[in-house]
């Protein structure tokens, strides 16, 4: 099998060199990664006669034993409804549930009460959009007016958004009469910042953008975009789904107003995600979902609501998931997010270096040497992404194919679908090389001569 590890991948440019950004960092090696892999039972299996090569963590990540055990332990020893009931189990369940919030908040640099549990990041963005929608209807206290939208107001997103950070804003615009605008993407998969300074203007009320693209791996310049928004007094919503799991992220340092992320992409279980909101903003927002557990006093016609985060957590919560997510955060902290980021930067550059060497395969997004997440999406000329994925699956390699919930971005880049390999802390350089070697066999198999 051909090796796709050119020297440029082994010693990438200074922006991604191991440890370059973090003096004193002890970089992860393949030996460490082999040890890490032992903590992930699902990785040790055979698929279609080959050892599983899991390169779809951008869609969903795998769980270490500690996460699985945390969830099981909760059900075996503490299962009870939280924030209600005075019995011992209910008190213990509430304590571990709130301790999980504290841990996840600290992981992203937030205050504990600035983290609202949601089912996933999609729900977190919808929570914002519907809360703003309710504010636009006049609900909430006097402070909620700052979230009220109407004709003449503008919501700005980017052309590279996942549908989860696009459609809720489209719908909010439709409900309120506001206008949706977008910052265009350049051919190289990065945002057109020159255009951004035109698009973000005096009518902009909300600027929502992704921290890192799930398709191109582009890492967006948060500080510059936040500065644009601050200049016109717009709220900033950051989709951090692809960065909180993979890079050290401090929402307070980034100075965004809101951020969302998903548990299942960061070694946690499905069914849990989080909304971060600055405390003073959450305090003024009207609720989205309403019902039990989010009220103080209720009569037949009105209700008073609790302070955040409980105001936004109606109904029985995702208790075991929150606790398991906290265990995932423990795992990531113990490994060290600097080391995770550094390792994945190497894997990302190795992917790019290898892809660039295969004839007839087009890399989407930033080219070799440019910072990117540890993922890469490609188009194989003459072979549909679905067929590429099938060929790889036959070799036990799991990748994502299709539009990755980002149709506008694919259209912008001139493709209908792509094939994406996305890495995590448990992927080895051998796995990346196997992916590259198998990818090189795709066109010949399908009779495409290049």
Partner 1 sequence: MSDLQSLYQTIILEHSKSRHGAVELTPLAEAVSLGAANGLSVAESHQINTTCGDEITLRVSLGRDTRAADSPDAPDAAVTDLVWAGEGCSISQASASILTDSLHGLSTTEARALLDNFREMLRSRGKIEPDEEILGDAAAFGGVSRYPARVKCAMLPWVAFEAALIEAESH
Any contact of residue 417 with partner 1 (CB under 8 A)? yes
Q: Compute the distance between CA of residue 276 and CA of residue 257 in angstroms, rounded to an integer.
A: 8
Among 288, 331, 391, 426, binds partner 1 (CB under 8 A): 391
Closest contact distance (angstroms) between CB of 368 and partner 1 is 28
In the 8-state DSSP scheme, what is residue 158? E
Minimum CB distance to partner 1 smaller for 249 or for 401: 401
Closest contact distance (angstroms) between CB of 393 and partner 1 is 9
Minimum CB distance to partner 1 smaller for 164 or for 256: 164
Enumerate residues 6+ apart whose C-beta is below 8 A from 403. Answer: 410, 416, 417, 418
Burial letters for 193-213: b for 16+ Cβ neighbours within 10 Å, e otherwise? eeebeebbeeebbbbbbbbbb
Among 10, 85, 390, 450, binds partner 1 (CB under 8 A): 390
Closest contact distance (angstroms) between CB of 269 and partner 1 is 24
Minimum CB distance to partner 1 smaller for 54 or for 132: 54
Tokens of 163: 């549908």
Pick the stretch among 128-136, 241-249, 425-433, 441-449 that binds partner 1 (CB under 8 A).
441-449
Please check whether residue 274 is in contact with residue 117, taking contact to mean a CB–CB distance below 8 angstroms. yes
Among 35, 44, 84, 386, binds partner 1 (CB under 8 A): 386
Among 2, 177, 445, 450, binds partner 1 (CB under 8 A): 445
Tokens of 447: 């009779």
Any contact of residue 406 with partner 1 (CB under 8 A)? no
Tokens of 166: 């696009």
Tokens of 141: 């206290």
Among 23, 24, 142, 447, binds partner 1 (CB under 8 A): 447
Any contact of residue 270 with partner 1 (CB under 8 A)? no
Please check whether residue 354 is in contact with residue 433, taking contact to mean a CB–CB distance below 8 angstroms. yes
What is the DSSP pairing of strand 235-239 with strand 397-398? unpaired
Closest contact distance (angstroms) between CB of 428 and partner 1 is 25
Among 394, 398, 412, 437, binds partner 1 (CB under 8 A): 394
Minimum CB distance to partner 1 smaller for 23 or for 447: 447
Q: Compute the distance between CA of residue 273 and CA of residue 396 in angstroms, rounded to an integer.
A: 29
Active site positions, annotated: 405
Minimum CB distance to partner 1 smaller for 50 or for 181: 50
Provide the H-helix boundaries in 177-310.
193-199, 222-232, 251-254, 279-284
Q: From 214, 118, 196, 212, select the one nearest 157 (Cα to Cα).
A: 196
Any contact of residue 387 with partner 1 (CB under 8 A)? yes
Closest contact distance (angstroms) between CB of 400 and partner 1 is 11
Closest contact distance (angstroms) between CB of 416 and partner 1 is 6
CA dihedral 334, 338, 341, 345 (to 10 degrees): -140
Helices 121-136, 167-176: inter-axial angle, 10-degree rounding:
10
Among 146, 227, 407, 408, binds partner 1 (CB under 8 A): 407
Pattern 37-66, partner 1, x by CB under 8 A = -----------x------------------
Closest contact distance (angstroms) between CB of 295 and partner 1 is 39
In DSSP notation, 37-77 reads HTT-GGGS-EETTEE-EE-BTTT-----HHHHHHHHHHHHH
Closest contact distance (angstroms) between CB of 209 and partner 1 is 23
Round to the nearest angstrom and report the end-to-end CA distance of the chain.
19
Pick the stretch among 104-112, 257-265, 287-295, 440-448 that binds partner 1 (CB under 8 A).
440-448
Enumerate residues 6+ apart whose C-beta is below 8 A from 369. Answer: 8, 12, 13, 15, 16, 349
Minimum CB distance to partner 1 smaller for 298 or for 448: 448
Any contact of residue 403 with partner 1 (CB under 8 A)? yes
Q: What is the spatial order of strands in the sheet that 179-183 belongs to?
A: 115-118, 273-277, 258-262, 235-239, 204-210, 154-158, 179-183
Any contact of residue 450 with partner 1 (CB under 8 A)? no
Any contact of residue 444 with partner 1 (CB under 8 A)? no
Among 324, 383, 413, 443, binds partner 1 (CB under 8 A): 383
Any contact of residue 67 with partner 1 (CB under 8 A)? no
| Contact residues: partner 1, CB under 8 A | 48, 383-387, 390-391, 394, 401-403, 407, 416-417, 445-447
């Amino acid at each position: 099998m051909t090796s796709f590890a050119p020297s440029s991948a082994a010693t990438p440019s200074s922006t991604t060199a191991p440890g370059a950004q973090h003096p004193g960092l002890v970089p992860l090696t393949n030996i460490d990664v082999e040890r890490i892999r032992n903590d992930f039972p699902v990785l040790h299996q055979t698929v279609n006669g080959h050892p599983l090569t899991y390169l779809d963590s951008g869609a969903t990540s795998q769980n270490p034993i500690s996460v699985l055990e945390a969830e099981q332990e909760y059900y075996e020893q503490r299962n009870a409804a939280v924030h209600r009931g005075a019995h011992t189990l209910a008190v213990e369940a509430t304590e571990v549930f709130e301790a999980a919030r504290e841990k996840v908040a600290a992981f992203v640099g937030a205050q504990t009460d600035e983290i609202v549990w949601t089912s996933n990041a999609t729900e977190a963005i919808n929570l914002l959009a519907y809360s703003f929608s309710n504010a636009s209807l006049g609900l909430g206290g006097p402070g909620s007016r700052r979230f009220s939208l109407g004709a003449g107001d503008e919501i700005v997103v980017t052309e590279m958004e996942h549908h989860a950070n696009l459609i809720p804003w489209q719908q909010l615009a439709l409900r309120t009469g506001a206008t949706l605008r977008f910052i265009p993407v350049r051919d190289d998969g990065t945002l057109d910042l020159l255009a951004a300074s035109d698009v973000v203007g005096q009518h902009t009320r909300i600027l929502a953008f992704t921290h890192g693209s799930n398709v191109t791996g582009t890492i967006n310049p948060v500080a510059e975009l936040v500065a644009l928004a601050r200049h016109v007094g717009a709220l900033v919503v950051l989709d951090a789904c692809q960065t909180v799991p993979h890079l050290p992220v401090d929402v307070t340092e980034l100075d965004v107003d809101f951020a969302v992320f998903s548990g299942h992409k960061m070694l946690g279980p499905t069914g849990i995600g989080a909304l971060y909101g600055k405390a003073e903003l959450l305090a003024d927002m009207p609720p989205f979902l309403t019902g039990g557990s989010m009220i103080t006093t209720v009569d037949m016609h009105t209700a008073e609501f609790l302070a955040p985060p409980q105001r936004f957590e109606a109904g029985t919560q995702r208790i075991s998931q929150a606790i398991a997510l906290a265990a995932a955060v423990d795992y990531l902290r113990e490994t060290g997010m600097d080391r995770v980021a550094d390792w994945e930067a190497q894997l990302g550059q190795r992917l790019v270096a290898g892809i660039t060497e295969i004839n007839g395969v087009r890399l989407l997004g930033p080219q070799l040497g440019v910072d990117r997440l540890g993922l890469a999406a490609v188009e194989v000329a003459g072979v549909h992404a679905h067929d590429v994925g099938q060929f790889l699956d036959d070799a036990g390699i799991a990748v994502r194919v299709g539009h990755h919930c980002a149709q506008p971005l694919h259209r912008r880049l001139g493709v209908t679908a792509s094939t994406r390999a996305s890495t995590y802390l448990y992927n080895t350089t051998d796995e990346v090389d196997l992916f590259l070697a198998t990818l090189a066999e795709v066109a010949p198999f399908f009779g495409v001569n290049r």
